[in-house]
Structure 1
Amino acid sequence: MSKNRKILLMIVLLITILAASIITAAGSNPWFLLGKNSLKYEKDRDVIIAKVGNTKITKEDIEMQILFNKFQKEVLNRKLSELQNSNLNINSFLSVDVSRKDILNKLIDEAILYEEAQRQGLNVTYDDAKKFMENTRYIMNAIAKGELKCENQKEAMEEIYNFKAYIKGLGMSEDEYWNEIIVYYQKILSIGNLKNKIISAMSEKDKNDINKVNEFFEKYKNELRKKYKIEILDGKFLQQ
C-alpha cells in the first residue's frame, strides 16, 4: 500500500472529526506525529494477508487502519466533555476497538465493491477523478485562506491546518499528496456509483429510511461476496 492507503484513511478520519467540530491543539501537533508514526508500517507493504480478485490486501493496510482507529478514539475522547454538552450523538463519532479480522472484512468489502463497479462499467475515469480532486483542493485552500465561508469556519480552518501537518509528517509535498490521491478518488466515486445503482432499486419510501438502506446494501454485499474468490494467506496474523 505505500502512502496511498494513508491518504484515504486520513480523509475518512478528518471527515469524522470535522463533523464532530473538534479543535485539536496545535502545540505538539499530534497529526504531524500521526503521519510520522504511519511510516513505520511501510516495511509491511509487501506482506500480503489476503487476495480478493485482482486486489492484494497487505499487513500495512490492516495495521494502518488500526493506527487510525486508535488515533481517532484518543482525539475524540479528549473532547468527550465538549460533545456531551452538545446535541450531537456521541456514539456516532466514537470509534470502537476492532479486531484485525473485522478490519480485513471491511477491506475485502471495499475491494469487491470496486471490482464490481468496474465490471458493471460504473468506474470513474482518471480525468474525472482528477477534476474532483482539483475542486476539493481548491475548496480546502479557499477555506484555509478565509476566501470561502462555511459552517463552523474556525473548526474547519483548524482541521485543514491539521490535515496539512499530517501531510508533512508523511514526508510528502502537498502536490505529491493530491496527485497520489486521484486513484483513490476513482475508487471511492466508483463504489458510490455502484451503491447508488443498487439503492435505486428500492422503493422511494424505503430510500428515506437510512436503516433500511444500510440493511439493503449490506445484504447486497453479502451476496456479492459469494461471487468473488477470497484467499486468506496469513490467518495467524489475524489472531494476534
Structure 2
Amino acid sequence: MTPTGAAGTVMEALAWIPRLVLLHLAWVLLVLLGAVIGGIAPATATLIALLHGDEELAATDGPRALAAAVLRRYRDELVPANRAAGPFVVIALAAGLNVVLGVAGALPGWFFPLGFGAALVLVVIGSLAAVHALALHALRPSAPEPMIWRGALAGILLLPLATASWTVTLVATLLISTVIQPVALACGGGILVAVTTFVLVRPWQSRLDAATTGER
C-alpha cells in the first residue's frame, strides 16, 4: 500500500536523497572540469537540462550512455552557458570574496560599512540573476545574450514568488549545512540544480508560453 498524506510526502522527499547526491557529484565534477569559475554555469545548465527532460539526455540507455551524453552536453554548454550567466557568476564570486575577506578582518577600515553592504547586495543580485539567466538559457538557448541578461535581471522582480522560494530554500540549506555539514558536502550542488529547475525554470516556462500565446 502506497503511503498517502504527510507520510507519502516524507517518503517522496527521502526518495530524492540519492538523486540529489548523484546530481551533486556530477555537478562538482563538471565544475572542476571548467576550472571552477568557468564550470559553474555550464555544469548547472547541463544538469538543469537533464532534470528538465532534455530529449537527447532522456533517450540514453544505461549509466555509461547517460554519462557520455552529459559530458557531450557539458562541452556544448561551455561557451553558451558562460555567455548567458558567466558575467553574473563572476560578479557574485568577486563580491562574495570581498564579503569573506571583510568578515575575516582582512580588508581596510574604509571598506566598512558601505563597501561591505554593497558587496552583500552584489552577491545577492549576482546569484539571483545567474540562476534566472540559466533558467532562461535552458528554455531559450538560441536567445541573444543581452536579451538573457535583461530577462535575468527583470526576472528577480517579475517572478517574486519563485525568486523568494529559491532564496529561502538555498538559505535554509546553507543554515542547515552549518549544523549538519555533510548536507552541503553530499548534496549541495544537487539541491542547487533541483531547486533552480523546479522553482525557476517551470515558472519561466509558464510565463514564456503565456507571452508566446498572447502574441498570436
Tell me the TM-score normalised to structure 2 length. 0.33
- Answer 1 or 2: which has greater helix percent: 2
- Answer 1 or 2: which has greater strand percent: 1
Tell me the TM-score normalised to structure 1 length. 0.31
